[in-house]
A = this chain, B = another copy of it.
Amino acid sequence: MSINIVKPSILPGFIELIPADQILFNKMLDTIRANYEKFGFLPIDTPVIEKSEVLLAKGGGETEKQVYRFEKGSTDMALRFDLTVPLARYVAQYYSQLNFPFRRYHIGKVYRGERNQKGRFREFYQCDIDIIGNGTLDIINDAEIPSVIYSTFKELGFDSFTIKINNRKILKGFFQNLNIEDSTLILRAIDKLDKIGMEGVEKELEGLNIDSNTINRIKEFINIKGTNLEILEELQELGIENEIFREGLDELREVVKYIGLFGVPEENYKIDLTIARGLDYYTGTVYETFLNDYPSIGAICSGGRYDNLATYYTKQKLPGVGISIGLTRLFYQLREANIINSEENSLTKALIIPMEDCMDKGVEVVNRLRQEGIYSQIYLEKGKVGKKFNYADKLNIPYVVVIGQEEVETNTCSLRNMKTGEQTSVDIEELIRQLK
- The B-contacting residues of A in range 374-421, CB under 8 angstroms, are 374-378, 380-382, 391, 394-395
Residues of A within 8 A of B (CB): 3-11, 14-19, 22-23, 25-26, 37-40, 42-51, 53-54, 57, 68, 70-73, 75, 77, 79, 89-90, 92-94, 97-99, 101, 103-104, 109, 111, 113, 122-123, 133, 136-138, 140-141, 144, 147, 151, 258, 261-263, 310-315, 347-348, 351, 359-360, 363-364, 367, 370-371, 373-378, 380-382, 391, 394-395
The CA of A43 and the CA of B68, in the complex, are separated in Å by: 27
Determine which of B70, B104, B375 lies in contact with A19 in the assembled complex, contact meaning CB atoms within 8 Å.
Answer: B104
A104 contact set on B, CB distance < 8 A:
19
Q: Is the CB of A8 within 8 A of B314?
A: yes
The CA of A42 and the CA of B347, in the complex, are separated in Å by: 8
Q: Is the CB of B6 within 8 A of A367?
A: no
A351 contact set on B, CB distance < 8 A:
40
A19 contact set on B, CB distance < 8 A:
42-44, 98, 104
Determine which of B50, B57, B123 lies in contact with A11 in the assembled complex, contact meaning CB atoms within 8 Å.
Answer: B50
A79 contact set on B, CB distance < 8 A:
49
The CA of A111 and the CA of B49, in the complex, are separated in Å by: 10
The CA of A147 and the CA of B376, in the complex, are separated in Å by: 13
Q: Is the CB of B72 within 8 A of A68?
A: yes
Q: Is the CB of A6 within 8 A of B57?
A: yes
The CA of A40 and the CA of B23, in the complex, are separated in Å by: 12
Given A5-B313, A313-B5, do A101 and B49 touch, yes or no (CB 8 Å)? Answer: no
Q: Is the CB of B140 within 8 A of A359?
A: yes
Q: Is the CB of B109 within 8 A of A51?
A: no
A262 contact set on B, CB distance < 8 A:
363, 367
Q: From residue A375, how far is it (CB to closest CB) to chain B in Å? A: 5
The CA of A375 and the CA of B50, in the complex, are separated in Å by: 33
The CA of A377 and the CA of B103, in the complex, are separated in Å by: 10
Q: Which of A9, A151, A258, A315 has the most CB of B within 10 A?
A: A9
The CA of A231 and the CA of B263, in the complex, are separated in Å by: 67
The CA of A19 and the CA of B104, in the complex, are separated in Å by: 8
A26 contact set on B, CB distance < 8 A:
43
The CA of A43 and the CA of B348, in the complex, are separated in Å by: 12
